[in-house]
């Protein structure tokens, strides 16, 4: 019984190169037994015809006689590869010769069979092996092609992102500059229209690039611990004004206790929630937008759920199935809202990367609920409590805030909480600098004192890595500093207040801190009235080296930096930057990653070698750069183009600290 090959999905196309008709008939009979007639056989009997047929490269397998009259099968095998014939070749010969066998295999044949011993079984085994080799080779070539296309696509998108973000930077930059010059109301409305549309264009660009990164597998997820209450308070502050402008109420609440600390990617989690909340606000005309949190157990594991509930028009049942499809817009969308239709698709894929998913339920005329579920890495020992309503109060207008002057040092290892405190304090007129742990706090205090611009008050977290708040407070007191220190702690154990005050702290506030209580406490220690003159400026402004080859973007960014009181020197390429950095000794370097003569990755370590120790290098890039990427290439931080005035303000603490150090 001959060994047969399973019926293929389509006939196998075989090429037989054989000058002996009897051998052709015998081989064909073997193939009929093997394939059960599920094959197409083409027979050529001369090397000249074989060359013509091979050049067409339309066969799945070739059986080639070694002796073709005066010609040598090895020469024909070499020719086959030179004309791009990709099918595997089995060499057939009338006599066994180990040396010839080795030569045939060396030049590309996959097997070498003796006609004297040829049977349907031996031929079937060789054919099966050759076809498997062909399938593996096709798969390998497809994989290489896909990888090459992905690399090309990634390179193209990075270039496109840079080319689009650079003019956007100029548009947004000059708009912010003109808005800062207090234009008349008509001009202000026009400028706000330009700014609003520029930000919308940036959002569309981000959506397209995110989708591309997800599809190519290049989207990075960075899991870290974060304070959930702080994260939500910051999110609320970001969204409440938009909701209020639409005449809507924004409400954050929890069902039962939720953990204080979770483990997730704060950037991507924020991106998902902003998208869901923005959609709820955009498509609602009245009522309340409710973000409701709860813990549920799924397959024995705790999951964190965010329900975004609106009272909008709802979604028809027939539209729910395509809601998360890319580029999909609902037929009953009468809001006139703009967008690519990518937001929900990207949000779902991001949610899946965070170990969860997004689902939706809706009733037309009543409203919709979008449910985000994530694996938040919740620990059993994590402290849990309901969300405090005090975190989510409408911010007072600027005129209602107390006017304060002075330098406040925030010592807190959680970046979200540092950002929230900065948002609260800077509108009052306070200058804010930061430290991530107690050791950095001691350095900030001593360097500020030596520079002649001492710190006026410290907000000190008690639980931090490297050096905790108790120890750093004690060391600050041992150094002779009498600065007011307000302790911030999540602990509520009996006797803790006494321990904290005994260590040298001036006051004690429990987390989550209420904004009004914090400002009241700060004002009582600074004891400054709104009529007192502000602190004298520094002796000279911080020096910024801006490395940017696009003239419009450089001028716009320079103007924004000068609005903040900084002196800017522009270098249009890497060579100029290396020359400037030695003579000016900047407080900070803003480095475009795409320069005409050198990449930012190559330039950063060369600049670092010429800069004073500790001088920050901040990358300006058209694509998101991970912390790991920045660390690997001697870069302290990355900003995504286009940068605006609000983004550049976040550099104030970096430039201030470096400026203070340079005066010592």
Residues 297 and 340 placed together within one structural domain of the fold: yes
- In this structure, the dihedral spanned by the alpha carbons of residues 461, 465, 466 and 471, taken in order and rounded to 10 degrees, is 40
Burial class (CB in 10 A: 0-12, 13-18, 19+), 88: buried
| Inside any domain, residue 212 | no
- Among the three residues 356, 390, 424, which one is the final residue of a domain in this structure? 390
Average pLDDT across each block of 10 residues of the chain; the chain has 664 residues. List them in order: 52 87 86 76 89 88 82 80 83 75 77 81 84 78 72 65 70 77 78 77 71 67 83 82 86 90 87 89 90 90 93 85 68 46 79 92 91 89 79 52 84 79 86 92 92 92 86 88 85 58 80 69 67 37 84 83 82 90 81 89 90 86 78 86 75 50 44
Query: What does the DSSP assignment read for 28-71?
Result: HHHHHHHHTT-EEEEEE-SHHHHHHHHTT---SEEEEESEETTE
Question: Could you say which DSSP state residue 198 is in?
Answer: H
State the helix-helix crossing angle for 438-451 and 652-662, rounded to 10 degrees: 60
Mark whether 440 and 372 lie in a shared domain.
Answer: no
- Do 238 and 333 belong together in one domain? yes
Give a yes or no: residue 460 inside a domain.
Answer: yes
CA distance 47 to 81: 14
Domain of residue 344 covers: 224-390
Q: Are residues 413 and 516 in the same domain?
A: yes
The predicted pLDDT at position 358 comes to 93
**In this structure, is residue 132 part of a structural domain?**
no
| Structural domain includes residue 505 | yes
Query: Is residue 396 included in any domain, yes or no?
Result: no
Residue 128: inside a domain: no
Identify the CATH number of the domain in which residue 504 sits.
Answer: 3.40.50.2300
Q: Which two tokens stand for residue 413?
A: 């290892």
Q: Given 526, 557, 588, which residue is the final one in a domain?
A: 526
Same domain, 193 and 81: no
229 and 371 belong to one structural domain: yes
Place of tokens 């069979």: 113
Write down the pLDDT at residue 329. Answer: 58
Number of domains the chain is built from: 4
Residue 454 CB contacts under 8 Å (≥ 6 apart), including other chains:
407, 448, 483
Among 363, 343, 376, smallest CA distance to 214 is for 343
Domain boundary pick from 526, 560, 595:
526
Q: Are residues 420 and 505 in the same domain?
A: yes
Place of tokens 């480095």: 591
Is 625 among the domain residues?
A: yes
Q: Does residue 178 sit in the same domain as residue 262?
A: no
- 381 and 412 assigned to the same domain: no
Which tokens belong to 431?
A: 């200058």
307 and 449 together in one domain: no
Do 328 and 252 sit in the same domain of this protein? yes
| β pairing state of 288-298 and 301-309 | antiparallel
- Concatenating the DSSP letter of every residue in 518-563 gives HHHHHHHHH---TTSPPPPPPSSPPEEEEE-S-HHHHHHHHHHHHH
Q: Is 243 left (phi over 0), alpha (psi -120 to 50) or beta?
A: alpha
Same domain assignment for residues 554 and 649: yes
Question: Ramachandran region of residue 192, left (φ > 0), alpha (ψ -120 to 50) or beta?
Answer: alpha
Is 606 within a domain? yes
Cα separation, 205 vs 160, whole angstroms: 10
List C-alpha distances in Å: 85 to 55, 62, 101, 103, 112: 6, 10, 20, 19, 18
């Amino acid at each position: 019984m001959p060994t047969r090959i399973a019926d293929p999905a389509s006939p196998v196309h075989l090429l037989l190169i054989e000058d002996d008709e009897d051998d052709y008939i015998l081989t064909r009979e073997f193939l009929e037994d093997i394939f059960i007639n599920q094959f197409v056989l083409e027979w050529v009997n001369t090397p000249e015809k074989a060359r013509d047929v091979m050049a067409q490269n339309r066969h799945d397998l070739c059986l080639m006689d070694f002796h073709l009259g005066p010609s040598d099968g090895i020469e024909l095998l070499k020719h086959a590869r030179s004309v791009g014939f990709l099918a595997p070749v089995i060499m057939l010969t009338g006599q066994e010769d180990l040396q010839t066998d080795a030569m045939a295999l060396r030049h590309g044949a996959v097997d070498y069979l003796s006609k004297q011993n040829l049977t349907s079984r031996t031929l079937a085994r060789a054919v099966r092996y050759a076809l498997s080799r062909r399938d593996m080779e096709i798969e390998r070539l497809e994989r290489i092609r896909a990888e090459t296309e992905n690399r090309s696509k990634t390179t193209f998108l990075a270039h496109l992102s840079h080319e689009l973000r650079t003019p956007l930077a100029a548009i947004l930059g000059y708009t912010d500059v003109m808005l800062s010059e207090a234009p008349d109301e008509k001009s202000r409305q026009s400028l706000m229209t330009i700014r609003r549309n520029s930000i919308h264009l940036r959002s569309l660009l981000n959506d397209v690039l995110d989708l591309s990164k997800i599809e190519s597998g290049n989207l990075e997820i960075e899991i870290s611990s974060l304070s959930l209450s702080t994260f939500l308070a910051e999110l609320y502050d970001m969204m409440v004004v938009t909701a209020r402008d639409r005449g809507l109420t924004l409400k954050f609440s929890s069902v039962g206790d939720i953990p204080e600390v979770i483990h997730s990617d704060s950037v991507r989690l924020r991106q998902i929630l902003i998208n869901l909340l923005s959609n709820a606000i955009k498509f609602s005309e009245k009522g309340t937008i409710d973000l409701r949190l709860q813990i549920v157990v799924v397959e024995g594991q705790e999951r964190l759920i965010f329900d975004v509930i609106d009272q909008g028009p709802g979604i028809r049942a027939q539209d729910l199935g395509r809601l998360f499809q890319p580029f999909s817009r609902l037929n009953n969308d009468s809001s006139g809202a703009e967008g690519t239709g990518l937001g929900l698709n990207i949000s779902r894929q991001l949610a899946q990367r965070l170990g969860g998913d997004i689902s939706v339920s809706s009733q037309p005329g009543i409203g919709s609920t979008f449910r985000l579920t994530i694996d938040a890495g919740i620990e059993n020992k994590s402290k849990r409590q309901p969300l405090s309503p005090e975190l989510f109060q409408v911010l007072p207008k600027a005129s209602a805030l107390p006017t304060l002057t002075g330098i406040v040092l925030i010592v807190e290892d959680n970046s979200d909480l540092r950002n929230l405190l900065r948002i609260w304090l800077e509108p009052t007129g306070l200058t804010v600098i930061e430290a991530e742990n107690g050791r950095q706090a001691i350095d900030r205090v001593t360097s500020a004192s030596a520079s002649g611009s001492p710190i006026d008050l410290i907000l000190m977290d008690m639980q931090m890595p490297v050096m905790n708040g108790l120890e750093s407070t004690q060391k600050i007191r041992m150094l002779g500093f009498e600065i007011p220190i307000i302790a911030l702690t999540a602990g509520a154990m009996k006797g803790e207040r006494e321990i904290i005050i005994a260590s040298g702290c001036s006051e004690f506030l429990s987390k989550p801190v209420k904004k009004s209580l914090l400002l009241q406490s700060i004002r009582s220690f600074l004891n400054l009235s709104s009529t007192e003159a502000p602190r004298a400026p520094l002796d000279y402004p911080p020096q910024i080296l801006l490395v940017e080859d696009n003239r419009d973007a450089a001028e716009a960014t320079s103007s924004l930096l000068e609005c903040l009181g900084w002196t800017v020197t522009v270098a249009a390429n890497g060579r100029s930057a290396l020359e400037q950095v030695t003579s000016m000794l900047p407080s900070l370097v803003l480095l475009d990653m795409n320069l005409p003569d050198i990449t930012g990755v190559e330039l950063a370590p060369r600049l670092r070698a010429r800069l004073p120790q500790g001088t920050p290098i901040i990358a300006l890039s058209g694509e998101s750069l991970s912390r790991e990427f920045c660390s690997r290439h001697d870069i302290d931080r990355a900003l995504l183009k286009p940068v605006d005035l609000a983004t550049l303000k976040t550099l104030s603490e970096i430039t201030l600290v470096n400026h203070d150090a340079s005066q010592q």
